[in-house]
Amino acid sequence: MKIVKKATAGTLESGDVYVELSPSDSGNEIELQSAVLLQFGDAIRESAQDVLRQFEVENAKLKLIDQGALDCVIRARIETAVLRGKEA
Amino acid sequence: MSKVVKTLREAIELAGLKDGMTVSFHHHLRNGDFVLNMVMEQIAALGIKDLTVNASSLFDAHTPLLEHIKNHVVTKILTDYMSAGLGHEISRGVMEKPVEFRTHGGRPADIALGRTPIDVAFIAAPTADSEGNCTGKLGKSACGSLGYAFADAKYAKKTVIITDNLLDGTLSEPSISGEDVDYVVAVDAIGDPNGIVSGTTKITRDPVGLIMAQTAVKVIEASGLLRDGFSFQTGAGGASLAAAMYLKNVMLAKGVCGSFGLGGITGYMVDMLREGCFRSLLDVQCFDLKAVESIRDDPRHREISGARYASPWEKDAAVNDLDVVILGATEVDTDFNVNVHTDSNGFIMGGSGGHSDTAAGAKIAMIIAPIMRARLPIVTDRVGCISTPGSTIDVLVTQKGVAVNPARTDLRERLKAAGIPVRSIEELKQIAEKITGVPKKPPKGDRVVGEVYYRDGTLLDSIYNVPV
């Protein structure tokens, strides 16, 4: 899936994650800020890459501001951002 | 000879404060306190260095201390509680010597025993007379009880009272007697009334918190302790207050008349007193305006000292007569050890206060906590810091069930018989981890920045710096 416009999903509430997805021309790049970075940073990056792979997103900049969201929430927010930012 | 001196600076000089000495402060003005900062500013201006600060608690209002630490005016801190603003910097390693944490019972005990002698005590007093008799019950900065300052006034070599309501005549019912006071200083304001009664003194509306509170009260009912003469303490956290509200309803419905409510006192405990749930309140610190009014007007609402509240060496310490205490936790481990000192990343953000004192004394020490906060499970293999030993904790109440300390088989059987969902603490850990995943342990530094002393004076645990 090609990301053609900037898209966002989620909120900055505790237990949620705010996702910003924008087009790029140099592969995927993930920027992560998290309240639980030390405990779950690797797991969050892995899930993010997994969702991008699943939707065949290859050129996108993904910014995550995580407030301790559960894995299912993180995946759902990224999926929503992908569907909002893809070609019509 | 009058004890009244014109300026704080003069009082500090008259008290003979010199390099390397110890000064002390109490925390009844909480985050609204001006006194610690104004005293330390004068001390710094006088060029005095290498001081130890012994404060019953430190709040974010006291962050100017960081500047005095940097300039070596303050080189050692003793306290029972340190909020996150200061705690983060201590955890980053801004001080050479570790902060010594004590409990609200251990602090006055160590002061009385001479283990932590005080050279000059600076006592913020909402009302005082020229002899140094003072009280927290009157004045524009009224804070109610002055319980934690009693030991300071009694045992410090010199005691300075700082007040913003200096009476012309004599104070008729002082909390701290002028016989322990050397100097009295009048200032414009000792604190900000909004900060004095600030804090988490509102009942939670979070359904998870309410479920936990209801379960907590079922546990108390099932324990067999809820009978005439029942005694109780609860914290000022949202779920703890909700538990007090539900407990009040049960006590009134059953016609149970308790003996005393203890602790930091909130308006909810005052309501329980007024409606006949308790014969008295024993108050070491007031958390809100309603408590301040009550301790002033109602003789059943009594001010007690920190030692009378919780000292391990006091024969009639109130904690020893407690039936039930409800406490919070940032983490609990599978041995029931509780952490209230550090956050999930290892930064200092609290302290015992009376946590481990009441846990040791009460027949049932109950922790209320959700099984997870955001993505972090509350139950771990080993807490980041042992604030209260698991051997003194009897039961953990969560929204997914109740875990009873294996040493309390009697209690477990009672709760089961009452139909309360009892699980092992390992089970609660697994339930949370199934939802959150298993968290990695954040790395610890290699330098001790805090030492946690148990109420009997033994070293319970050490807090390490957070590598950043």
Is the distance from CB of B88 to CB of B347 less than 8 angstroms?
yes
Per-residue pLDDT at B228: 98
Closest CA to B37 of B17, B16, B22, B58: B58
Q: Where exactly are the structural domains of chain A? A: 7-85
B434: Cβ–Cβ under 8 A, 6 or more apart, which residues?
none
Interface with B, mutate which of A11, A33, A36, A44 (most B CBs under 10 A): A36
Distance between A9 CA and the closest CA of chain B, angstroms: 18
Q: Which domain holds residue B23?
A: 4-56+104-196
Which of A36, A42, A71 is nearest residue B376 as measured by Cβ atoms? A36
When pLDDT is averaged across residues B345-368 and rounded to a whole number, the result is 97
Instruction: Please answer yes or no on whether A15 and B374 come within 8 Å at the CB atom.
Output: yes
* Residue owning tokens 């705010």: A18
Q: Is residue B164 part of a domain?
A: yes
Per-residue pLDDT at A66: 98
Specify whether B328 is located in the same domain as B355: yes
Residue B199 has pLDDT above 70, yes or no: no
Last residue of a domain, one of B196, B218, B236: B196
Averaged pLDDT of chain B: 96
Distance from C-alpha of B221 to C-alpha of B200, rounded to nearest angstrom: 26
DSSP labels for A26-56? SS-EEEEEETTHHHHHHHHHHHHHHHHHHTT
Specify whether B231 is located in the same domain as B335: yes
Which of A14, A35, A43 is nearest residue B437 as measured by Cβ atoms? A43
Specify whether B183 is located in the same domain as B326: no
Per-residue pLDDT at B237: 78
Q: Is residue B221 part of a domain?
A: yes
Count of domains in chain B?
Answer: 2
Is A14 in the B-facing interface, judged by CB distances under 8 Å? Answer: yes
Distance from C-alpha of B173 to C-alpha of B136, rounded to nearest angstrom: 11
Instruction: Please answer yes or no on whether A38 and B442 come within 8 Å at the CB atom.
Output: yes
Instruction: Assign residue B151 the CATH number of its domain.
Output: 3.40.1080.10
Which residues of B are less than 8 Å from A68 in CB distance? 373-376
Is the distance from CB of B103 to CB of B81 less than 8 angstroms?
no
Per-residue pLDDT at B1: 64
CATH of domain A7-85: 3.30.230.10
Q: Is residue B374 part of a domain?
A: yes
Is B375 in the A-facing interface, judged by CB distances under 8 Å? Answer: yes
Pairing of strands B395-398, B401-404: antiparallel
Instruction: Confirm whether the ipTM is greater than 0.90.
Output: yes
Specify whether B243 is located in the same domain as B320: yes
Residues B13-55: pLDDT tens digits? 999 999 999 999 999 999 999 999 999 999 999 999 999 999 9
Q: Is residue B72 part of a domain?
A: no
Per-residue pLDDT at B200: 46
B198 pLDDT band (50/70/90 cuts)? low
Window A:33-72, CB contacts with B under 8 Å: 35-36, 38-40, 42-43, 67-71
Distance from C-alpha of B262 to C-alpha of A24, rounded to nearest angstrom: 62
Is A73 in the B-facing interface, judged by CB distances under 8 Å? Answer: no
B70: Cβ–Cβ under 8 A, 6 or more apart, which residues?
B94
Distance between A15 CA and the closest CA of chain B, angstroms: 5
Window B:342-361, CB contacts with A under 8 Å: 344-345
Specify whether B192 is located in the same domain as B337: no
Which of B345, B375, B443 is nearest residue A68 as measured by Cβ atoms? B375
Specify whether B145 is located in the same domain as B262: no
Q: Is residue B276 part of a domain?
A: yes
DSSP labels for B406-434? TT-HHHHHHHHHTT--EE-HHHHHHHHHH
Residue with the larger pLDDT of the pair B417 and B205: B417
Is A13 in the B-facing interface, judged by CB distances under 8 Å? Answer: no
Specify whether B349 is located in the same domain as B373: yes
Instruction: Please answer yes or no on whether A35 and B374 come within 8 Å at the CB atom.
Output: yes
Which residues of A are less than 8 Å from B375 in CB distance? 15, 36, 39-40, 68-70
Specify whether B175 is located in the same domain as B311: no
Residues B118-162: pLDDT tens digits? 999 999 999 999 999 999 999 999 999 999 999 999 999 999 999
When pLDDT is averaged across residues B182-209 and rounded to a whole number, the result is 85
Residue B240 has pLDDT above 60, yes or no: yes
Residues B444-462: pLDDT tens digits? 999 999 999 999 999 999 9
Is A75 in the B-facing interface, judged by CB distances under 8 Å? Answer: no
Q: Is residue B95 part of a domain?
A: no
Chain A: residue nearest B440 by CA? A39
Residue with the larger pLDDT of the pair B342 and B201: B342
Per-residue pLDDT at B196: 81
Last residue of a domain, one of B159, B177, B196: B196
Is A11 in the B-facing interface, judged by CB distances under 8 Å? Answer: no
> What burial class does residue B206 get, using C-beta atoms within 10 Å of its C-beta: 0-12 exposed, 13-18 middle, 19+ buried?
middle
B108 pLDDT band (50/70/90 cuts)? very high
Chain A: residue nearest B466 by CA? A38
Q: Is residue B231 part of a domain?
A: yes
* Residue owning tokens 């009452």: B418
Residues B301-355: pLDDT tens digits? 999 999 999 999 998 999 999 999 999 999 999 999 999 999 999 999 999 999 9
Is B435 in the A-facing interface, judged by CB distances under 8 Å? Answer: yes
Is the distance from CB of B154 to CB of B105 less than 8 angstroms?
no
Specify whether B411 is located in the same domain as B369: yes
Specify whether B153 is located in the same domain as B228: no
